[in-house]
Amino acid sequence: MTSESTRVADVDGVAGIEGVADVEGGAGRAGGGSDGEAVGWSVVRAAVPEFAGRVQERFGAYRHHVLATLRKDGAPRLTGLEADFRYGELWLGMMVGSRKVLDLRRDPRFSLHANPGPGAGLSGGDVRVSGRAVEVADPELVARYAAAVKPPEPFHLFRAELTEAVRTYVEDPYVVLESWVPGRPLRTIRRTSDDAALRVE
């Protein structure tokens, strides 16, 4: 983690952190709401493993990504952030006193857009995830995370509960959009600039 965030890591096969399932509804879920059910990353991996693998790999290609939160007046705020896939969850670490922390405490909705990288190639596609950020208050959980990641301390730790994951890429002659929301199968749309060519799978 830099002064603002954590790093990308993947520790598959490690048992989940004790206490994660007890936060916001349990079993990796943050409950329903008008903006849809939100689930932990482990649920995404279980539901659509190949798609989730592509999304996680895309985030792992670069260190810094773009986080969108909501300001007090409802306007979007974009800031840089590192994302950490660990213990079957997606974690967002932030510097104490940062504006994005205040934003998420007021309104937990967020989107995280993967760094597009250099040039216009978008290797691996264009990827984003959206959902709600749940602040981790359990000191033992925070301490275990800090021992593994070694971020600058003190810091705030949030766990991402996702309502959507989207990947867009080019498969000539189509632009392909893969999207997933909890409780529904993966949806794939292929299209060209001619709307008549729209194909939904």
Q: Note the pLDDT tens digit of each residue in 52-100.
A: 999 999 999 888 999 999 999 999 999 999 889 999 999 999 998 899 9
pLDDT exceeds cutoff 80 at 195:
no
User: d(Cα 165, Cα 180) in Å, to the nearest integer?
Assistant: 5
Q: What are 28's two structure tokens?
A: 């990796």
Task: Write the pLDDT tens digit of every residue in 29-58.
Answer: 333 333 579 999 999 999 999 999 999 999
pLDDT exceeds cutoff 80 at 12:
no
Q: Cα dist. 201→78, 163, 190, 196 in Å?
A: 33, 20, 8, 15
pTM over the 0.95 mark = no
b/e per residue, 117-143, with b = 16+ CB within 10 A?
eeeeeeebbbbbbbbbbbbbebeebbe
Regarding beta strands 65-70 and 76-81, do their DSSP bridges make them parallel or antiparallel, or are they unpaired? antiparallel
Residues 161, 40 contacting (CB under 8 angstroms): yes
pLDDT score at 200: 62
pLDDT score at 65: 95
State the alpha helices, DSSP H only, in 4-87.
41-47, 49-60
Across all residues in the chain, what is the average pLDDT?
81
Task: Write the pLDDT tens digit of every residue in 156-175.
Answer: 999 999 999 999 998 888 89
b/e per residue, 75-96, with b = 16+ CB within 10 A?
eeeebebbbbbbbbbbbbbbbe
pLDDT score at 198: 56
pLDDT exceeds cutoff 60 at 24:
no
Question: What average pLDDT score do residues 108-135 get?
Answer: 88
Which DSSP helix (H) or strand (E) runs through 103? helix 99-106
Per the listing, tokens 């978008």 go with: 122
